């Protein structure tokens, strides 16, 4: 049976996607900008043709909802596909706000495309990855990537696009891991709830595009202070939109704010470091490569574990 394996790195958004302008097509209400990060990676093998659909994630059979999400994505790739076997493993904790769905669906569409013998463009694959998980559309690309909202009703122009390759800028992203267990509210549920109930949501979507313009310019001229300022603002405004939902949604734990304070104290003492948080309690800290050890020491004191990440390359078939 035709089989193919693909590897993709997750990405962390510096300007956040939070809100959907079309739920069925998974189209975003905000543009976003991200950094793809190694050595975290998802490795996925797809066998195109089997007795029945089966998905194994990190060594266990995927449950109903997870499996449906995977096979619905393969149905989009080919509505007449044969039953498939999908085997996928992450080298990092799943569903703890560490963006595992971004690398997961990027690796899935790439492996499935190769296994099926089709030759889609990277843009077509990025649209398919978006349907699986919005953030996955950015993980097909290495280094710095953007996901514009797009204007078309069918979403064909809403997919990840490369901004600058991994070797454009030698930065680090350190993750203060505060709680590696599975998160309580999925990002989709969280953003839909925010959209439906938060009075701050319209303001969030209105101002988000300007952040991407600013962040893009900062990345291109390698201005970490300017990028750091936009990155913190985007994260806090996204979280403010959900804190104002009804009932309020808060992914933070006490340790989250302790890590944020540690980053601010480090900056006040002269070391450049900037934070962001996603749909989970962990804090991700951006810094220049030369400041990695100082940042590590500062956040290790307030977290369970610190992961060290650096710009990673594009998703690839192995």
Chain residues binding ligand PMV by CB under 6 A are 13, 16-18, 32, 99, 101-102, 133-135, 187-188, 278-279
17 vs 275, beta carbon nearer ligand PMV: 17
228 vs 298, beta carbon nearer ligand PMV: 228
CB of 228 to ligand PMV, least distance (A): 17
211 vs 278, beta carbon nearer ligand PMV: 278
4 vs 15, beta carbon nearer ligand PMV: 15
CB of 43 to ligand PMV, least distance (A): 19
CB of 106 to ligand PMV, least distance (A): 11
CB of 186 to ligand PMV, least distance (A): 7
CB of 128 to ligand PMV, least distance (A): 14
For the chain, what is the HEC assignment? CCEEEEEECCEEEEECCCCEEECCCCEECCCEEEEEEECCCEEEEEEECCCCCEEEECCEECCHHHHHHHHHHHHHHCCCCCCEEEEEEECCCCCCCCCHHHHHHHHHHHHHHHHHCCCCCHHHHHHHHHHHCCCHHHHCCCCEEEECCCCCCCCCCCCCEEEECHHHCCEEEEEEECCCCCCCCCHHHHHHHHHHHCCCHHHHHHHHHHHHHHHHHHHHCCCHHHHHHHHHHHHHHHHHHHHCCCCCCCCCCHHHHHHHHHHHHHHHCCCCCEEECCCCCCEEEEEEHHHHHHHHHHHHCCCCEEEEEEECCCCEEC
158 vs 187, beta carbon nearer ligand PMV: 187
Q: Which two tokens stand for residue 273?
A: 């470091």
CB of 313 to ligand PMV, least distance (A): 19
116 vs 135, beta carbon nearer ligand PMV: 135
CB of 148 to ligand PMV, least distance (A): 13
18 vs 144, beta carbon nearer ligand PMV: 18
Question: For residues 117 and 189, what is the distance between their CA atoms, to the nearest angstrom?
Answer: 35
CB distance 1 to 311 below 8 Å: no
């Amino acid at each position: 049976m035709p089989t193919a394996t693909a590897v993709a790195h997750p990405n962390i958004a510096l300007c956040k996607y939070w809100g959907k302008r079309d739920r069925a097509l998974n189209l975003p209400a905000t543009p976003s900008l991200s950094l793809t990060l190694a050595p975290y990676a998802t490795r996925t093998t797809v066998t195109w043709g089997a007795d029945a659909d089966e998905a194994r994630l990190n060594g266990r059979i995927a449950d109903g909802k997870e499996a449906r999400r995977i096979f619905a994505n393969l149905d989009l790739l080919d509505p007449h596909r044969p039953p498939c076997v999908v085997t996928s493993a992450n080298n990092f904790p799943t569903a703890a706000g560490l963006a595992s769905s971004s690398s997961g669906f990027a690796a899935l569409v790439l492996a499935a495309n190769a296994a099926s013998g089709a030759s889609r463009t990277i843009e077509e694959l990025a649209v398919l990855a978006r349907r699986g998980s919005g953030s996955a559309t950015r993980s097909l690309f290495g280094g710095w990537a953007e996901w514009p909202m797009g204007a078309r009703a069918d979403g064909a122009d809403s997919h990840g696009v490369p901004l600058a390759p991994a070797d454009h800028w030698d930065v680090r992203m350190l993750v203060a891991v505060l709680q590696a267990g599975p998160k309580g509210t999925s990002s989709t549920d969280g953003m839909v709830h925010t959209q439906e109930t938060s009075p701050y949501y319209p303001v969030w979507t209105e101002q988000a595009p300007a952040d991407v313009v600013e962040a893009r310019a900062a990345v291109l001229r390698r201005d970490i202070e300017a990028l750091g300022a936009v990155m913190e603002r985007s994260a806090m405004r996204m979280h403010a939109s959900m804190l104002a939902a009804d009932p309020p949604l808060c992914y933070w734990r006490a340790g989250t704010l302790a890590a944020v304070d540690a980053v601010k104290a480090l900056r006040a003492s002269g070391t450049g470091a900037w934070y962001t948080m996603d749909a989970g309690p962990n804090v991700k800290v951006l810094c220049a490569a030369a400041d990695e050890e100082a940042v590590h020491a500062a956040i290790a004191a307030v977290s369970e574990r610190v992961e060290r990440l650096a710009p990673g390359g594009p998703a690839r078939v192995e």
